[in-house]
Amino acid sequence: MNLSAKSIIFFLFFLLLYISCDESSEVGLELEDQNNNLEAKYIELPLATSNIYLDSVRTDYGSLIFGQYDNPVFGKTKAIGYSQFSPEIISPDVVTTDLSIQPSDSSVLDSIKLFLSYSYVHGDEFEEQQEVSVRLIEDTLFASGIYLSSKTIPLVTNKSAIGFSRFTVNNPGDTLLTIPLTMNYGNLLLNLAKQGISSREMRESTKGIAFDPGVDNKLILGFDLSNEFSRIVVYYHNSNEDTVSNQYRLRFDSPLSKHYSNYTTDRSSSTLSAIDMKNLNEFNINDKIYWQSGSGIYPMIDLSGFTNFTDTAKNIILNKVELSMGPIDDSEKKYINPPSTAIFYFAKDDNNVNSSGIETTPVDNVILKDNAYYGQDEDPAYYTYDSLISRTYKGTSTVFFQDLAMKKYDVKKVIVFPSTPSTFNQAVIDKTKFRLKVFYSKL
């Protein structure tokens, strides 16, 4: 990234100032440096924060999410997962005897099972029995499409489910969910395989399947479709006399196989029931800030407190700028599962974020790590949640704020996202607990 001469001079001056400070001085104390005629100062600025509702989140990458969870604050959410599958292809570079074997004309179906590798659990009622029905879908998925949580694909309702399982998630050693599929569906896939159809023809013929949670489910679950054990296995033998069982396998992680999840949330009995949930609607309630990306609730931080300070303060140099959120409010909450990290996306004038720009030009759309402004990698600044001591999100973004003070950016507000937006981790934070600590030197 090319820097203006002004920015380079500013950075070098700041570096020289930092390493030449007297060891007895401490940033934050209003002391006068006898040699440099500088005062080291510190100010803590409150950041006005509100909530923003975004009506959908992208769910077509990462884990496949399905399940149901009733949160007294955020509402009752149901997630239906959709996925395509393709015949398994083993790389010629892999040496293995565990192969998916193409069936012959004489092959006879023994059974068919679907396996999913756990990656995420939201909820705490692990002893409660969960249900999942595997259903056919009306429309196919498209590999080139972008699928959001608001997208609905109709399920085939005039036919029975092709798979069903009751299960619990109470054993830490459980890594796979196993769902038996019907013999009718197994024979359909076996007959397609006998024809030697291509991966594209398999996807077009089957369209895809949906994972529909039971009405009494109490957990939202995520599954890693890229895991080698997430697959459909058709077990068969080659003739009535042959007792050797073979496997024909189908995978969910082909580059041309699509998956996504649809989310619906009923807030009628929740803390947020009185809020008019319209896309990009900004709201405030109960002097609290709410955060659950999966259901569309985000904090939006107003940075005008900082820019007003730097506009009125004269002849200052920023030494360190630290943003903090928290501690989270965990009073009278049954289940607390805050996002592990926070990322700050620039809000546009309409309160939305530039989704494509976040991917293509992050420096103009995201607060980056300090060193990312002077290097090749444009990595976002990840503020990690401290679950052990402070129960806060805290991080340093000095370079961004010094650029903001120098009017390099015209950023008025930022929206706080988790590192995995499609999940349902949640937090509640007092409105007064969003603060900016500014350590600076005054000429």
Q: Which among 14, 15, 46, 43 has a CA at the least distance from the CA of 29?
A: 43
Q: Are residues 309 and 416 in the same domain?
A: yes
Q: Are residues 155 and 303 in the same domain?
A: no
Q: Are residues 108 and 247 in the same domain?
A: yes
Number of structural domains, the chain?
A: 2
Task: At 240, list the tokens.
Answer: 């009535």
Question: What's residue 300's pLDDT?
Answer: 98
**β-bridge mates for residue 31, sequence order:** 40
Mark which of 217, 243, 266 sits at the end of a domain.
Answer: 266
Instruction: Report the length, in residues, of the chain.
Output: 443
Q: Are residues 108 and 225 in the same domain?
A: yes
Q: Average pLDDT per run of 10 along the chain, which is 443 residues long?
A: 44 41 35 56 96 95 95 95 90 56 90 96 89 95 92 90 93 84 97 92 93 96 95 90 84 93 96 91 94 96 96 90 94 77 96 89 94 88 94 96 94 96 94 96 85
Q: Are residues 90 and 11 in the same domain?
A: no
Q: Are residues 310 and 388 in the same domain?
A: yes
Q: Are residues 329 and 303 in the same domain?
A: yes
Q: Are residues 155 and 239 in the same domain?
A: yes
- Cα(399)–Cα(420) distance, integer angstroms: 25
Question: What's residue 172's pLDDT?
Answer: 58
How do 383-384 and 86-87 pair as beta strands? Answer: unpaired
How do 209-213 and 130-136 pair as beta strands? Answer: antiparallel
Mark which of 266, 285, 303 sits at the end of a domain.
Answer: 266
Domain membership flag for residue 92: yes
Question: What's residue 20's pLDDT?
Answer: 39
Q: Are residues 290 and 349 in the same domain?
A: yes
Residue 140: domain span: 64-266
- Cα(193)–Cα(187) distance, integer angstroms: 10
Mark which of 200, 235, 266 sits at the end of a domain.
Answer: 266
- Cα(417)–Cα(343) distance, integer angstroms: 5
Question: What's residue 34's pLDDT?
Answer: 47
Domain membership flag for residue 347: yes
Question: What's residue 242's pLDDT?
Answer: 72
Q: Are residues 206 and 123 in the same domain?
A: yes
Q: Would you call 80 helix, strand, or coil by DSSP? A: strand
Q: Are residues 77 and 19 in the same domain?
A: no
Question: What's residue 330's pLDDT?
Answer: 78
Q: Would you call 238 helix, strand, or coil by DSSP? A: coil
Domain membership flag for residue 271: no
Question: What's residue 255's pLDDT?
Answer: 87
Q: Are residues 241 and 281 in the same domain?
A: no
